Structure 1
Amino acid sequence: MKQLLFNSLEFIFLFLPVSFVVYFILNKYKLVLFSRIWLVACSLFFYSWWDIKYLPLLLLSIFFNFGLGIIISKHRERFNPFFVLLVGISINVLLLGYYKYYDFFIVNINDIFSSDLNLINVILPLGISFFTFTQIAFLVDAYKKEVKEFDIVNYMLFVTYFPHLIAGPILHHKEMMPQFASLKNKFINYKNVSRGLFIFSIGLFKKVIIADTFAGWASYGFDKTSSLNFYESWATSLSYTFQLYYDFSGYTDMAIGIALLFNIKLPNNFNSPYKALNIQDFWRRWHMTLSRFLRDYIYIPMGGNRKGLYRTYTNLLITFIIGGIWHGAGWTFLFWGFLHGIALVLHRIWSGLHIKMNKVIAWFITFNFINITWVFFRAKDWDHAIKVLNGMFGLTGLSMSISDNAFANLPYAFLLILLFLFVVTITKNSIELMDEFKPSIRSAIVISIIFVVSVLLSQKVSEFLYFNF
C-alpha cells in the first residue's frame, strides 16, 4: 500500500501546493469555515491515500472522543466526569491494543500454553498510536477544564492536520486551536513561507540523503547477515543510531516546515538529543512531545516524585516500560523501555550523591548507552539483537576481514559516522538555524540547492521509521 509521503514527488509538487493555494484563496474571500473544512478534507485525503478502509476507524475515533469531551466538559452535573474520562481512556487503549498488540498477545499465549489460537494478522492503521495519544490528551485536558471551545470542524482539524497526523508531534488542543482561529494566520505570511521552505528542505535532505544512506548498512547488519565481526557490528549499530536520528529529525523538520506554510507553529519535538550529557537530558530532547505525554499523563498521575524514593523509581520504570510498549508490540521494545527506566533510576541515585562527572565522560557514557539500547529497538527479535551485540563486545573476534559485500566500503561508513557525529554534537540544529534564518537572495539560492539536490539524488521514496510506531 502506497503512502503519500512528505518526500514523494506527488506530495511535494501536487498535494502540498494545491492544499496551500486553495486554503489561502478561501481565506482571501473570507470563507474561513470552508478553509478549515478544506484542510480537514486534505488531511483525510492524505490519510486515505494509504488505505481508505481505515478512514472510518479514524472518523469513528474522532467523533467518539469529541462526544466524550462534550460530556466531560458541559454535562458534569448529569454524568460523573471522572468515570466518563476512564471509559474514554479505556476504549482508546483497547482500540490501540487490538490493532497493535492482539497478535503479539496471542503468539505469547500460544507459546506458553502450547495452544493454537488464530492470529488476526491485521495491518496496523497508519498513525493510530499518535492520534490515539493526541485524543487521550484532549479528554484529560477536557476533564481539567482546559478545553475552551467545542467545534467539530476545529476538533477534526486538530486531530487530522496532515503535517502531524502520521508521526506526531503529539499535540495539545489548547496550543493549536488559537492558532487556527487567529485572523492574522488567514493570510499568506511570506516570512513563514520562506522559513517553512528552509526547514522543509533541510528535513528532506536529512531523510533522503543522510538517513537513507545509513539505512543500507543498518539493514544489512541487522537483517541480512548471520554473523558480524567487531567492526561490522559497530558500523551496523552506529548506522542505525544515525539513520533513526536523521530520519526522525528530518520528519520533524518537514512537519514543522509544512505547518509554517499555513502559519501554524508545531511544538518542537527534537532538540539535539545526541548532545545529552545524561539520560534525563536525552529524554528532554528526544521525541519531546511523547516525553511530555508520558510525564503529564502517566508519571505524574501515578504520583511522580511526590511519594518517596521507592515510589519515584517504580513510577519511572513503569512509565518507560509503557513508553517502550507504545513503540511496538515486541519483547525487545519492552526491554528497551525497561533499560531506559533503569537508567533514569540510576541517574536519580547518582544525582542524589551530588558528584559531578566530567562532561566528556558523561557524554561518552550517555551516547554509548543510547547506541547500545537502540540495538534492541531496531532488532526484529532477540536473536538479531544478540547477533549485533556479540560483535560489538568482541565475542565474534576482532578480525578486520569483511564478511559481507555490503561492508566492502566499511571505511567510508565510519568516515560518515565520524562526520555526522561531529555535526550532531557540535553544530547548531535545524530549529536554531531556522530561528536565525533571514530571507534573502542568498538564502533562496541555498534553499534551492538543498531542495534540488535532495530531489535529484534520492534513490527511492522510503517511508519514515516512526510511521511504523
Structure 2
Amino acid sequence: MFFYSPNFMIFFIILLIPYLLLRKQRVWLLAAANAIFYVAHPEGFLVLFFVMAFLTFGIVHTMQLSRFRWLFWIGIVLNVLNLAFFKYTLFVLGNLDMLGLHLPRADDWAASIVLPLGISFYTFEFISYLIDVRRGDSKPTRSFVKFWVFVSMFPHLIAGPIMRGDELFPQLDELSKKRITWSDIRYGVYLFAIGMVKKIVIADQLSPIVKELFDKGSALTSTESWMAAYTFSFYIYNDFSAYTDMAIGLGIMMGVRFADNFNSPYLSANPSEFWRRWHMTLSRWIRDYIYIGLGGNRKGQLRLYANLLIAMLISGLWHGAMWTFVIWGGIHGLLQVIHRLSFELNRFRWVAVLRDSVVYRIVAIFVFFHIVTWTWVFFHAPSLSMAWDMTVKMLRVHAADLIRHPTFPLIVGLFAVHVVEYVLRKNEGRFGRIWHFVPFPLRSAAYALITFTLIYYLQGGKYEFIYFQF
C-alpha cells in the first residue's frame, strides 16, 4: 500500500474523518491503522513486530528495578539479533563459503528468509528508546498502546524519519487535546504533493535510466559511468526525500510533527555538512548511540578518527548486507577523517579567510558533489568489481565528453531543481504569503496542472521507494 496508490488514499481518508472527529480515540485509531497498514504489505511480519515491541516495552519497565538493570543488555541483544538474523544471515553464510567453511543445508533455509518490512528502522527506534530510558533522557510510557503507536506509526514506519521517544511521546500525550486546523491540513497536503512530484515525476522517471546504465556493467564507457552515477544520485535523493516529505505531510494532517530528514544535501561543501543534511535522523542516531558511545572526541585524536571510521562502517553495513555498502560507509568515514585533519590548516590565517569566502564555498560544493556522486557507485553497483571498474573509468573521463553527452542537460536541470527546492524551502513562509496574492483563478489553474500531471505520470510504471529494502 504505497503512499501514491489509490488504496492508500482511500485508507487515509477513511482514517482521517473519524480521527478529526473523535479526539479522545485518536491513539487507538492510530494503533489499529498502523497494524492494518503494516499487514497490508506482503513483507509485513506483524506478529514478529508486535512481539518485539511487547518484549522491549516489558524490558524497559522491568529494568527500572535496580536488581533487573541487566535486562537492558538483554533488550539490546534481542533487537540486534532479530535484525542480524533477517538481514545478515545470507551475508555471513556467503562469506563463510568464500573461506571454505560451507555449512550443510544452510543455503536452503537461509534462502527462504524474507526481510521484514521496516525492520532496520523500527529496530533503531527500539534500541534508542532502551538507551534513552537507561540514560534518563526519556521517561518510559506506561501505555503499551502509545508505545506501539510510537514505533509503528505508519507514515514513518517503513523508511523513517527515525524518531525518539522524547520527540513523539509528548505529542501522543497531547493528541486528544490537539486541535487540527485547516491550515494544518493544507500544509500537510502541500508537503505530500511535493513528495508526490519528487517521487512520480522525477524519481520514477530516473529509475529506468539508472537501470539501463548500470545493467551495461563492464560495457559502460567513462562518460556513461559518470552519467550512471549522476542519475542515481538524483534518483536516490528524490525517491527517499519524497518519502520523507509525504510522511511529514501525513503526520501534520494528523497533528504530529516528525523530524526533518533532508536539507538539500548536494549543496554541502564538506562531509560533515553532508551528513547534517542527508538522512539527518540516521546521522544523529549514529552520532549519539555509536560515535559518542565509543567515546566521540573525548579520548584523543587517534581515537576520534577510529570512532568516525567505525561509526560510518556500521552505517554502511546497516544499509545493506554487502561489501559494497561496507566500502561505501568506509569511504565516507575516511572523508570525515580527512575533513577533520584539514582543520589543522586553519591555523594559517589565509586558509581560514579563504574558507569563509563565497568563491571557496561554490567550488567546494562543486567538488564535494562529485565526490559524493562517485561514492554512490559503491552503494548501487551489484559488486565490488563493477564499482572499481566504474571508478577507474570515471578517473579517465574528459570534461568535454561529459558536456556533449545527451544526458548532461538533464543532470544540470536536476541540480538546478535541487537549488530551487533549497531556496523555496528556506523561504517557505515568504513565498507562501506571496502565493496568496496571486489571483484565485491562476492558483486554481496551477493546482489543476499539478493534479493532472500527477495523474498522467501515475498511469506509467510504478516503482517502490528504494529505502524499503533497507
- Please, what TM-score do these two structures have when normalized by structure 2? 0.90
CA distance in 2, matches of 1:208, 1:258: 17
Q: Does 1:417 align with 2:411?
A: yes
Shift, 1:259, TM fit:
0.5
**Equivalent position amino acid for 1:78 in 2:** R
Q: Does 1:35 align with 2:26?
A: yes
Shift, 1:144, TM fit:
1.7
SS in 1 for 2:219: coil
SS in 1 for 2:67: coil
Q: Does 1:321 align with 2:308?
A: no
Determine which of 369, 372, 380 is the counterpart of 1:370.
Answer: 372
5 Å-filtered alignment, 1:59-458, equals: 59-73=50-64, 75=65, 77-80=66-69, 83-113=70-100, 115-117=102-104, 118-119=106-107, 120-121=110-111, 122-148=113-139, 149-182=141-174, 186-354=178-346, 355-356=351-352, 357=355, 358-394=360-396, 411=406, 413-425=407-419, 427-428=421-422, 431-432=425-426, 434-436=428-430, 437=432, 440=436, 441=440, 446-458=446-458
Shift, 1:108, TM fit:
0.6
SS in 2 for 1:113: coil
Give the equivalent residue in structure 2 for 1:18: 14
Per-residue CA deviation, residues 160-190 of structure 1 (Å, 9 max, x unaligned), is 1001000001101111121122257544311
**Equivalent position amino acid for 2:45 in 1:** Y
Shift, 1:263, TM fit:
1.2
SS in 2 for 1:428: helix
Identity of aligned residues (%): 36
Higher deviation after alignment, 53-62 or 438-447: 438-447
CA distance in 1, matches of 2:450, 2:293: 45
CA distance in 2, matches of 1:165, 1:228: 37
Distance 1:266 1:289, change over 3 A: same
Higher deviation after alignment, 155-164 or 52-61: 52-61
Structure 1 unaligned residues grouped into runs of 5+: 402-408
Higher deviation after alignment, 451-460 or 309-318: 451-460
Give the equivalent residue in structure 2 for 1:405: none
How many positions carry a matched residue from both structures? Answer: 447
Shift, 1:277, TM fit:
0.7
**Equivalent position amino acid for 1:457 in 2:** Y
Shift, 1:79, TM fit:
1.5
Q: Does 1:7 align with 2:4?
A: yes
Distance 1:264 1:92, change over 3 A: same
CA distance in 1, matches of 2:364, 2:157: 36
Distance 1:349 1:426, change over 3 A: farther
Shift, 1:293, TM fit:
0.4
CA distance in 2, matches of 1:145, 1:248: 33
Distance 1:153 1:444, change over 3 A: farther
- Please, what TM-score do these two structures have when normalized by structure 1? 0.90
Shift, 1:347, TM fit:
0.3
Would the aligned equivalents of 2:262 and 2:280 in 1 still touch at CA under 8 Å?
yes
Would the aligned equivalents of 2:44 and 2:117 in 1 still touch at CA under 8 Å?
no
CA distance in 1, matches of 2:372, 2:122: 27
CA distance in 2, matches of 1:463, 1:299: 32
Distance 1:113 1:361, change over 3 A: same
CA distance in 2, matches of 1:443, 1:88: 53
CA distance in 1, matches of 2:218, 2:208: 16
Structure 2 unaligned residues grouped into runs of 5+: none
Which structure is richer in relative contact order (CA contacts within 8 A, separation 6 or more)? 1
Distance 1:416 1:185, change over 3 A: farther
Shift, 1:445, TM fit:
5.2
Distance 1:353 1:460, change over 3 A: same
Higher deviation after alignment, 428-437 or 235-244: 428-437
- Alpha carbon RMSD of aligned pairs, Å? 2.3
Higher deviation after alignment, 117-126 or 257-266: 117-126
Higher deviation after alignment, 243-252 or 64-73: 64-73
CA distance in 2, matches of 1:280, 1:237: 21
Shift, 1:136, TM fit:
0.5
CA distance in 1, matches of 2:92, 2:429: 46
CA distance in 2, matches of 1:410, 1:199: 34
CA distance in 2, matches of 1:95, 1:234: 38
CA distance in 2, matches of 1:260, 1:398: 45
CA distance in 2, matches of 1:398, 1:157: 52
CA distance in 2, matches of 1:448, 1:141: 47
**Equivalent position amino acid for 1:383 in 2:** S
